[in-house]
Structure 1
Amino acid sequence: MTVTIVPASITDALFLAHASWRPILLRGLHAVMAADPAYLPALAVDDYLPTQGRLFAAFALPLAQVRHVLVGEGPYPRAESATGVCFMDGAVGSLWSATGLSKPVNRATSLRNFMKMLLVADGQLQGGDTSGAAMAPVAAAAQLPESGVIQTLPDLQRKMTEQGFLLLNAALVFRAHVPPVQDARGWLPFLQVVLEALAQQGGAALPQLVLWGKIAELIKRLPVAAMLPQVTAEHPYNLSFIGNRDMQALFGPMQLLRA
């Protein structure tokens, strides 16, 4: 007999999602079970990131407040870094150091390049020179008491959620022994349900898909994707992301670095 019940350890993680999302996410989990009855039961007994029940942490933002859906590739491959929220590295506190970006930011290549893209979009850096020497005076100014600049990664996450960003990963989990694209395919039925709910919200404008990297482009295969406006870019771990004009045009007016 085929198992059709979503494992309890998976449904228990719904508690971190906002109440407006929980019935939708449960439908999404049932869609995963219908597509591949073995996937979630196998995941439930496996080692995966994020830990601490944070599988659906990105859905803390209420459904009605979502204006952008940023889809990255997958969780960071380190337990201290994977938070269940795309791009938000749990190992990063301060954004700045005396000489530029902080060491944890520089270690998180994608975050480093995203920060530099924001600084270029804001006119604080020149696109052709984002070196350490160019960063030093920017960082020094950012840390002045009267700078009006955010200081920590949680500040950046707050600014992005205030702009209505649902920060998702195409693959909600990372497993060291499973190719990320394989897990991403497993979650596609779930994401179809999530995006359908957003497309059916109504309102003045539909949420915009912001797709980063090759795995995120799997989202384009979903029937619902054609219903939503979208913009794509290389993954931020590519140095070219800093100079991506589409990303500068999208994020620049939001002034995410302003406190």
Structure 2
Amino acid sequence: MQLTLPESWSFFLKDELQKPYFLNLIAFIKEQYATTDCFPAEEDVFKAFEICTFSAVKVVIIGQDPYHNFNQANGLCFSVNDGVSHPPSLINIFKEINTDLGKAYPVSGNLERWAQQGVFLLNATLTVRAHEAASHQKKGWEPFTDAVIKTISTHNKKVIFLLWGGFAKKKAKLIDASKHTILTSGHPSPLSANRGYWFGNSHFSQVNTLLEDQGKTTIDW
């Protein structure tokens, strides 16, 4: 199993990749993938980093844990593979886009198209055992992805961070708000959305307005 961070990211994170916790994490992940079903597929563990290079990051969306059923997780937070039924949170994301921007509800829940435009879709934990939610939490992924967020904040300019729900909002402390924009709302999960904490946040139109103001290409959500 090869777990190699793409060069555009490893250049900034090379010290992190040599820390004992990270080396222990990689050993744990390799053992897990060798002995049990884990998601996403091993070639997709760093897909968010592969599709969206460090210098291309315009928007960051932070999720928590990969989907843990077969054929769902593809290495991008909230995203599922082509042909897979859309999970409830993703349904609510697409509903908000429809309301906010008037875009038709899409057939595919694969968000690679966003990543290719500079939307970095980062889960705090990058792997999970099949059918065991949160099974790879507190094994080392969280300090690594926190370091990723801090590195984006330090070395990039005018990035827009979308923090949805209580877990993601805690990441605000890692971000220099004097350099970047932070937009927050409730989580798109039904529990939060049905209580009025998600729908109507207009984050997608807000992002495009901010990008226009920066002279950057907007996102085709």
TM bracket (short chain): 0.7 to 0.9
* Matching residue of 1:230: 182
Report matched runs for 1:199-218 at 5 Å. Answer: 199-202=153-156, 205-218=157-170
Q: Which amino acid aligns with 1:243?
A: F
Unaligned runs of 5+ residues in structure 1 are 1-8, 94-102, 125-137, 140-149
Counterparts in 2 of 1:171 and 1:200: CA distance versus 1, 3 Å: same
Correspondence for 1:63 among 54, 58, 62: 54
Counterparts in 2 of 1:181 and 1:52: CA distance versus 1, 3 Å: closer
* Matching residue of 1:119: 98
Report matched runs for 1:1-259 at 5 Å. Answer: 9=1, 12-14=2-4, 18-31=6-19, 33-34=20-21, 38-46=24-32, 47=36, 48-60=38-50, 61-90=52-81, 92-93=82-83, 104-105=85-86, 108-123=87-102, 152-154=108-110, 156-158=111-113, 160-175=114-129, 180=134, 183=137, 186-202=140-156, 205-221=157-173, 224-227=174-177, 228-238=180-190, 239=193, 240=196, 243-250=199-206, 254=218, 256-257=220-221
Instruction: Give the distance between the partners of 2:131 and 2:159, measured in 1 at CA.
Output: 34
* Matching residue of 2:213: none
- Alpha carbons 1:69, 1:209 under 8 Å: kept: yes
- Alpha carbons 1:121, 1:252 under 8 Å: kept: no
Counterparts in 2 of 1:179 and 1:83: CA distance versus 1, 3 Å: closer
Q: Report percent identity of matched pairs.
A: 23
Counterparts in 2 of 1:198 and 1:244: CA distance versus 1, 3 Å: same
Deviations 1:149-196 (A, max 9, x none): x65444x531x2354211110111123586629716732321233233
Instruction: Give the distance between the partners of 1:220 and 1:20, measured in 2 at CA.
Output: 24
**C-alpha displacement of 1:89:** 0.3
Give the SS at the match of 1:220: helix
Instruction: Give the distance between the partners of 2:148 and 2:100, measured in 1 at CA.
Output: 31
- Alpha carbons 2:58, 2:119 under 8 Å: kept: yes
Q: Which amino acid aligns with 1:104?
A: S
Unaligned runs of 5+ residues in structure 2 are 210-217
Counterparts in 2 of 1:248 and 1:192: CA distance versus 1, 3 Å: closer
Counterparts in 2 of 1:180 and 1:68: CA distance versus 1, 3 Å: same
Counterparts in 2 of 1:83 and 1:28: CA distance versus 1, 3 Å: farther
Instruction: Give the distance between the partners of 2:12 and 2:117, measured in 1 at CA.
Output: 22
* Matching residue of 2:214: none
- Alpha carbons 2:66, 2:126 under 8 Å: kept: yes
**C-alpha displacement of 1:208:** 2.1
**Higher normalized helix content (fraction of residues):** 1
Instruction: Give the distance between the partners of 2:24 and 2:77, measured in 1 at CA.
Output: 26
Give TM-score scaled by structure 1 length: 0.64
Give TM-score scaled by structure 2 length: 0.73
RMSD: 3.2
- Alpha carbons 1:188, 1:219 under 8 Å: kept: no
Q: Which amino acid aligns with 1:30?
A: Q
